[in-house]
Amino acid sequence: MIATWSMTVTMILIVIKKLYLDTATLVWNGTSVTGAGEILQFHEGLPSSVHTVECLDSQPILSVVTQDQTTIIVTVGGTVKYEGNAQKTFSQNFMLTAQDSSWRVVTDCMRTFD
* Structure confidence by residue, pLDDT tens digits, 37-55: 899 899 888 888 889 999 9
State which residues form the domain around 58. Answer: 9-113
CA atoms within a 13 Å half-sphere pointing along the CA-CB vector of 109: 7
Could you tell me the CATH number of the domain that includes residue 29? 3.10.450.50
pLDDT digits (tens, 9 = 90+) for 64-90: 888 889 999 999 999 999 888 999 999
Would you say residue 3 lies in a domain?
Answer: no
Residue from 59, 57, 18, 69 nearest 40 by CA: 18
Would you say residue 38 lies in a domain?
Answer: yes
Residue from 30, 1, 22 nearest 110 by CA: 30
Would you say residue 4 lies in a domain?
Answer: no
- Measure Cα distances from 14 to 28, 43, 72, 97, 105 in Å: 20, 11, 23, 19, 14
Would you say residue 92 lies in a domain?
Answer: yes
Q: How many domains does the chain have?
A: 1
Q: Check pLDDT > 70 for residue 106.
A: yes
